[in-house]
Amino acid sequence: PSPSSTVPFRRDDHFISRDSLDKIRQICARPAGRAALFGLGGVGKSQIAIEHTYQIQDESPTTWVFWVHASTRARFEESYRRIAEKTEIDGWDDPKADILRLVRKWLCDESNGRWVMVIDNADDSAVFFPTTPKTQVAGLSNLDEAAQLLSEFLPQSPNGSILITSRDREVARRLAGRGDCLVEVKPMDEGEALALLQKKLSNVNEPDAFELVEALDYMPLAITQAAAYIEQRAPRTTVSRYIDEFRQNDQDRARLLTKDVGDGRRDGRAYNSIIATWQISFTHIRKEMPTAARLLSLMSFFDRQGIPESLLQGRYQLDVVEEADFEEDLLTLTNYSLIGMNVDGREFEMHRLVQFSMKKWLELFDELESWKETFVKLMYDNFPLGEHKNWAVCQALYPHARAAVACQPAGGQAVKPWTSVLHKAAWYASEMGKYKEAEEMNRGALKAKEAAFGAEDPDTLASINDLAVVLKEQGKYEQAEALSRQALKGMENILGKKHPHTLVSMNNLAVVLSNQGKHKQVEALNRQVLKRREKTLGKEHPNTLTSVNNIAITLSKQGKYADAEALHRQVLEWREKVLGKEHPHTLQSVHNLAYVLHQRQQYEEASQLYQRACAGFQEKLGPDHPRTQLYMENYSALQQVWKP
């Protein structure tokens, strides 16, 4: 018979060319060439392989092209039988024929001409490699032994080349035989993803197209799935409406990503939804490497980037995980392209949609809530208290603490750790000038505390205080004042007027009133707080110094600059001694003194102090922080009236 093809898929008119296609063409051009595409399910491996076969047919019509489904042994044998039929191998239709051996023999016979073979979906090592040593299967019949050694029926023949597609890097490596024959298929880049969407859907405006492919992590299957969904429901469903539904909530997102739309260029027995596709991998890993599945479960709750090794090792199963086990689990997940890592291998990352799909999978097994609690407990134990010395750790863990917002427990003992994580993360966000994020977390913590502990609980009142501070920073003074008074009244009733928490509430109320210009009332409150703090905490306690600082600010706002200067110098001296010269509170005192000296026309010293404060805040908080910008504006105002 004349050379022909057993590829069961038509060519994709919408195919977007990718670098990986050129790489496998080069590898397969070698004598007995073997190349392997590996990567996440739905990333486009089979589509690249299909295009590869059609390009071969275009360039060399005399080359046989064979397609082998390799997800199971039965499907592999079925594909080989199809090859035997197509090539009309003698005896192929004999019920007793050993089809695998007949096809291998035909492939090794150079007189049959050139051939190209695709081994698609070679994900399960047990399909190709023996699970027991050869010495233990020596007594088996030829057919049984062949089942154990299926990889032997892929010949190394100079007249043929083999392309493998697999989700598992290790399976791909073993089948390809060499590491330099592996080609990882990653999600598309932005340009490729946009081109794919625009080929699938006409008349898509550019901003919507950008937003959709970004939301879908540039995954080809997810983009194709979304495009088919939109096309089937047009004109009532548009790209913009799809995006709105996708972002609305987890239920809508899951419904859209689970929708199985037909695709004639994918295996008819494969899923056409991205969630179902990945859940096949999750299930396989759970069966073969349960601890790796647990590691992936935990990682799916972190922010997608910068997941630290220190918060994973030994944290994801009941027994202590030895380093070797952790390394094996990491290897399993990286082999499946479910996680990536940074250059030194100490931090990891995941695709957003993989994390989301994993959570939906955990939900099926009734494990979602327990893993949420595990993750929140991890953040509770590791996100540090709100102190300047902890800022570096806070910065590294803040995105993961933010991710914990979505892990609110239904109730019970899990509420306290969750609200504590939100409280600590909100403090750091506020210090960084991220006031809207801080407000969101404070409101979440407050609502949960009110439901769990009641409105008069000290923890609840502390959250009211926190929320008031953040509202004040955003200029929402009336709301801030009402909450500050509510917190103060509650603290006085429960803890008494001299308790440190009560004094914090009184101090916060004074700050809010100061922003509203009620300076005489503020000065009286601040002096009251100062007197009590000096008595209960001592003169050099940071909270006491805050009270002195606040009095100085109030005096300055009333134009009493000489008195304000004396107090600011006193606070600066004590803060340098107690907190250190680079502490943000110390730098605030540097600025406050500079501002008063500026008003008193002592420009040279004011300029030096402004420069110190601006440089310190730029280094600590960055140029975009509200305080950095305020300090720069005040320094700029000085430069307008004084030149050294």
258-305 confidence digits (pLDDT tens) = 876 555 455 545 555 888 889 889 999 999 899 999 999 999 999 999
Q: Does one domain contain both 150 and 217?
A: no
Q: What is the mean pLDDT of residues 217-229?
A: 92
| Structure tokens given for 623 | 């140029």
Rounded mean pLDDT of 7-35?
92
User: Does residue 134 surpass a pLDDT of 50?
Assistant: no
Beta bridge partners of 120: 69
pLDDT tens track for 423-464 = 999 999 998 889 999 999 999 999 999 999 999 999 999 999
- Count of domains for the chain: 3
What is the average pLDDT across 169-194?
94
Beginning with the edge strand found earlier in the chain, give each strand of the sheet holding 340-341 in spatial order. 307-308, 347-349, 340-341
Mean pLDDT, residues 634-644 taken together: 90
**Domain membership flag for residue 228:** yes
pTM for the model stands at 0.84
Q: Please tell me whether residues 229 and 347 are part of one structural domain.
A: no
Residue with tokens 């999978």: 361
Same domain for 91 and 48, yes or no, is yes
* pLDDT tens per residue across span 69-80: 999 999 999 999
What CATH number is associated with residue 99? 3.40.50.300
Rounded CA separation 589/569 (Å): 8
Per-residue confidence band for 142, with pLDDT thresholds at 50, 70 and 90 = very low
Instruction: Let me know: does 18 contact 196? Beta carbons within 8 Å.
Output: no
Both 125 and 88 in a single domain?
Answer: yes
3 state SS for 614-629: HHHHHHHHCCCCHHHH
User: CA distances (Å), 428 to each of 178, 372, 441, 466, 616, in order?
Assistant: 49, 22, 11, 12, 18
460-511 pLDDT, tens digit per residue, is 999 999 999 999 999 999 999 999 999 999 999 999 999 999 999 999 999 9
**In the beta sheet, which residues pair with residue 67?**
118
Q: Say if 233 falls within a structural domain.
A: yes
Q: Is pLDDT of 376 > 70?
A: yes
Q: 92 and 71 share a domain?
A: yes
Tell whether omega for the bond before 31 is within 30 degrees of 0, i.e. cis: no
Backbone angles phi, psi at 234, to 5 degrees: -70, 150
pLDDT at 146: 44
Residue 221's pLDDT is: 92
384, 424 Cβ separation under 8 angstroms: yes
Q: What range defines the domain where residue 352 resides?
A: 274-366
Asked which of 343, 366, 389 is the last residue of a domain, the reply is 366
Q: Please check the confidence at residue 322 and state whether its pLDDT lies above 60.
A: no
Q: What percent of the chain has pLDDT over 90?
A: 74
Nearest Cα to 225, choosing from 240, 242, 207, 244? 242
Are the CB atoms for 442 and 469 separated by under 8 Å?
no
CATH number of the domain within which 326 lies = 1.10.10
Higher model confidence: residue 272 or residue 221? 221
Pairing of strands 160-166, 182-184: unpaired
- Is 537 inside a domain boundary? no
Amino acid identity, position 139? G
Q: Is 73 inside any structural domain? A: yes
In Å, what is the CA distance from 370 to each residue of 231, 298, 479? 39, 10, 37
**What confidence category does residue 253 fall into, taking pLDDT thresholds of 50, 70 and 90?**
confident
Local confidence band at 320 (pLDDT 50, 70, 90 cut-offs): low
DSSP 95-162: TT--HHHHHHHHHH-GGG--EEEEEE----HHHHS-SS-GGGSTTS-HHHHHHHTGGGGS---TTEEE
Q: What are phi and psi of 164, to 5 degrees?
A: -110, 140
Q: What average pLDDT is seen over the chain?
A: 90
Residue type, 631: Y
Based on the fold, state whether residues 159 and 45 are members of the same structural domain: yes
Residues 232 and 155 in one domain: no
**Over the range 535-548, which residues count as b (16 or more CB within 10 Å of their CB) and which as e?**
eebeeebebbbbbb
Where a domain ends, among 159, 184, 209?
Answer: 184
- Percent of the chain at pLDDT > 70 equals 94
Which domain-ending residue is among 258, 286, 317? 258
- pLDDT (mean) for 390-417: 93
Q: What is the mean pLDDT of residues 380-388?
A: 89
